[in-house]
Structure 1
Amino acid sequence: MNSIEYLIKFSDVKYKPIKLPQHSHLSEHLTVTNSPVLFGCRTGICGTCIVAIKGKISPPQADEKELLEILAPDNPQARLACQIDLTSDIEISEI
């Protein structure tokens, strides 16, 4: 059985797109050498990994949504990269 992979692109062109398996947690795969995303706590409470996402992913859970309302109240594309369940190709840009 073939595993589904999705493409993660970055708006910062110095980082090459990468492919990850469906339902990957970005915090386990993205590093300072392969992406512009920085991670702090990796649990969704610090806000270090806030990014803008283009692509179809599930909506944020209540805890993430609460933090996003504080950190990026008027940005519907804002997400915490550590909380994303990868279910489609996405593009990540810094906020």
Structure 2
Amino acid sequence: KGTSSFDDNRLIQLSLVGVKPGANGKGVVVVMKLRSLQGKPTTCYLWITLHKNAPATLGSIRPRIHKNRYCPDLCMASIHVARAIPRSQKPVMVTRKRPLPPRAP
């Protein structure tokens, strides 16, 4: 009664993974929370910027998350987000439609 611990309320995330688009619209930034520095909130986050192509980015995110023993749902969620970011950063090619020739009467 009256205890406020991690097991009771689950408000403090001990493991955290975030994937964001990189600066200038290029690359992917992976944010990970380090368990060893959880008592220091300002320095406990590790920011990794990846400027690779899409398959190489996914191939480098997956081992980093598994090596730090994050839960599998966080791993798959971050991979799905990382897969969508390079697609959204591609320039959109505008195709112009040619007007149809006039019909013969």
Q: TM over 0.5: same fold? A: no
Q: Considering only CA atoms, is the larger Rg found in Structure 1 or Structure 2?
A: 2
TM-score, normalised to structure 2, is 0.28
Higher helix share: 2
Give me the TM-score of the superposition, normalised by structure 1: 0.30
The answer to which structure, 1 or 2, has the higher relative contact order (CA under 8 A, 6+ apart) is 1
